């Protein structure tokens, strides 16, 4: 049987404490503003115990979001390749209005309000998506790995109210942009010219290119190993004749790296080359879109292209593929 005791709460306000005891279950207690609310809660707990489906909420009710995020940072985020970037997102949630709230008290409406607050601050839709993704994973982890089975993931309840993401980039090289780009790169000098050709031939990410080492190249097999990727899964990239031609023209560095340029330097040089060539709206990452589309235009199937590009899902692969109708006409017969 449940018992109800009226007590003096913070600020002298009178509150009702509900206490539920049942053999075989840990004692459950919670405080409410009214006796009616306490009775409803106690009846629900007793019903669950009677049906044998009770799961203790004490840990979820006694752990704040800020505390859970601290544990998440140590046990989960620290092991991720993106852990350093996630530390910022963790701080955002810890310093938010939800930070001092108990996990069990956070509802879908609270997440919806947080989204509105983010939008009012001018956060980009994708940034908000990243914040929500981390919070969702936190709740799932707490429920499945930390023994808080009673938790409901409130992020799942607001899927229809999340900010709409802008469409993915569809920029590809058009008309005579490639020869103009290569001519400007040649005039600029350094590695940027070969880097442009390499990116188009391999569909590799900027960071993967910058991290290339000669000892990862199997020249006989015409394959390059990428041991560390954005997705965390190593992959081997087959090399075209043009890609091998790029490598054959490069000097061997003493430190074993293929390229001297770092990721930021590549982007800066590419921006200057585009400006010199009179090309607007093109980024170095767009060359990965260009390369992925060209692989399909060569006749490779989705699984073959994904093996080269490293995309984990066909949906993500689709975002990087922009086939031109003009290039497909000849294949229709």
At 315, which CATH number?
1.10.443.10
pLDDT at 329 over 60: no
Our answer to whether residue 205 is catalytic in this structure is yes
**What is the CATH number for 154?**
1.10.150.130
| From 230, 262, 298, 318, the catalytic residue | 230
**Per-residue pLDDT, 5:** 86
Q: Based on the fold, state whether residues 45 and 77 are members of the same structural domain.
A: no
| Structural domain contains residue 231 | yes
The per-residue pLDDT for range 207-241, each reduced to its tens digit, is 999 999 999 999 999 999 999 887 778 999 999 99
> Are residue 271 and residue 224 in the same domain, yes or no?
yes
Question: Is the predicted pLDDT of residue 333 greater than 70, yes or no?
Answer: no
The predicted model gives 163-170 an average pLDDT of 72
Residue 268, judged by CB atoms within 10 A of its CB (0-12, 13-18, 19+), counts as middle
Apex CA 282: angle with CA 281 and CA 285, to 5°?
A: 135
Residues 68 and 94 placed together within one structural domain of the fold:
yes
Residue 186 has pLDDT above 90, yes or no: yes
Q: Is residue 120 in some structural domain?
A: yes
Max avg pLDDT among 53-57, 72-76, 133-137: 133-137
> Percent of the chain beyond pLDDT 90?
50
What is the per-residue pLDDT for 233? 82
Report in angstroms the alpha-carbon separations of 212 from 21, 167, 195, 223: 64, 31, 12, 12
User: Quick check: is 171 in a domain?
Assistant: no
Beta pairing partners, 213: 257
Q: Are residues 294 and 195 in the same domain?
A: yes
Per-residue pLDDT, averaged over 322-331, amounts to: 62
Residues 327, 181 share a domain: yes
167 assigned to some structural domain: no
Give the residue among 84, 92, 73 at the shortest CA–CA distance from 132: 92
Q: Which of 21, 171, 285, 319 is catalytic?
A: 285
Looking at residue 165, the DSSP 8-state letter turns out to be P
Of 61-65, 278-282, 326-330, the range with the lowest mean pLDDT is 326-330
Of 133, 161, 189, the residue at which a domain comes to its end is 161
Task: Catalytic residue, from 30, 143, 206, 288: name it.
Answer: 288
311 flagged as catalytic: yes
The reply to whether 186 and 319 lie within a common domain is yes
79-105 mean pLDDT: 87
The catalytic residue among 205, 206, 289, 294 is 205
Residue (of 271, 183, 200, 280) closest to 240 by Cα position = 200
Instruction: DSSP for 251-304, please give it.
Output: PPPTTSBS-S--HHHHHHHHHHHHHHHT--S--TTHHHHHHHHHHHHTT--HHH
Q: Is 150 a member of any domain?
A: yes
Residue numbers of the domain that contains 139:
62-161
Report the pLDDT value the prediction gives residue 251, as an integer from 0 to 100: 92
Contact assessment for residue 213 and residue 256, using Cβ atoms and an 8 Å cutoff: yes
Same domain, 126 and 9: no
Cite the DSSP H helix spans in 99-164: 108-120, 125-144
Say whether pLDDT at 21 is over 90.
Answer: no
Contacts of 249 (CB under 8 A, 6+ apart): 194
Per-residue pLDDT, 55: 64
- Does pLDDT of 204 surpass 90? yes
Domain co-membership, 111 together with 240: no
pTM for the structure as a whole: 0.61
Residue of 30, 57, 143, 311 marked active site: 311
> Is 288 annotated as catalytic?
yes
Per the structure, the count of domains in the chain is 3
The reply to whether 148 and 188 lie within a common domain is: no
To the nearest 10°, the Cα dihedral for 40, 43, 47, 49? 120
Known catalytic membership, residue 131: no
Is the pLDDT assigned to residue 53 strictly greater than 70?
Answer: no
Average pLDDT over the chain reads: 87
Helical axes 241-248 vs 192-202, angle rounded to 10°: 150
Active site (annotated) includes residue 188: no
> Catalytic one among 131, 206, 289, 320?
320
Mean pLDDT computed over 235-257 = 94
Tens digit of each residue's pLDDT (9 = 90 or more) over 56-69: 666 666 788 998 99
pLDDT at 11 over 80: no
Residues 181 and 322 in one domain: yes
pLDDT for residue 50: 81
Q: Across the chain, which distance is largest between two alpha carbons, in Å?
A: 85
**Quick check: is 25 catalytic?**
no
Q: Is the domain of 86 the same as that of 206?
A: no
- Would residue 19 count as lying in a domain? yes
Task: Classify residue 37: in a domain, yes or no.
Answer: yes
Tell me the range of 32-36, 154-158, 241-245, 309-313 where mean pLDDT is highest.
Answer: 241-245
């Amino acid at each position: 049987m449940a018992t109800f005791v009226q007590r003096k709460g913070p600020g002298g306000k009178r509150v009702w404490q509900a206490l539920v005891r049942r053999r075989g279950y840990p004692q459950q207690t919670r405080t409410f503003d009214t006796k009616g609310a306490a009775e409803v809660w106690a009846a629900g707990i007793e019903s669950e115990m009677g049906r044998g489906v009770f799961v203790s909420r004490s840990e979820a009710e006694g752990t704040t979001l800020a505390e859970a995020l601290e544990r998440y940072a140590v046990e989960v985020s620290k092991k991720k390749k993106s852990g350093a970037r996630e530390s910022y997102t963790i701080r955002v949630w810890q310093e938010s209005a939800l930070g001092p709230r108990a996990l069990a008290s956070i509802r879908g409406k609270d997440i919806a309000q947080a989204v509105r607050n983010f939008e009012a601050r001018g956060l980009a839709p994708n940034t908000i998506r990243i914040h929500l993704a981390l919070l969702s994973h936190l709740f799932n982890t707490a429920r499945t790995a930390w023994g808080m089975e009673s938790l409901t993931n409130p992020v799942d309840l607001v899927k229809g109210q999340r900010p709409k993401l802008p469409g993915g980039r569809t920029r590809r090289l058009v008309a005579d942009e490639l020869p103009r780009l290569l001519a400007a790169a040649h005039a600029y000098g350094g590695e940027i010219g070969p880097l442009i050709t390499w990116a188009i031939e391999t569909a590799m990410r900027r960071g993967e290119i910058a991290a290339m080492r000669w000892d990862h190249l199997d020249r006989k097999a015409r394959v390059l190993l990428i041991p560390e990727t954005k997705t965390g899964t190593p992959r081997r990239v087959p090399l075209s004749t043009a890609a091998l031609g790029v490598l054959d023209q490069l000097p061997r560095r003493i430190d074993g790296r293929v390229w001297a340029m770092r990721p930021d330097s590549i982007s800066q040089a590419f921006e200057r080359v585009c400006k010199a060539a009179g090309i607007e709206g093109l980024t170095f990452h767009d060359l990965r879109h260009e390369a992925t589309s060209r692989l399909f235009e060569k006749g490779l199937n989705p699984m073959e292209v994904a093996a080269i590009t490293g995309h984990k899902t066909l949906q993500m692969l689709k975002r990087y593929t922009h086939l031109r109708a003009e290039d497909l006409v000849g294949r229709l017969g």
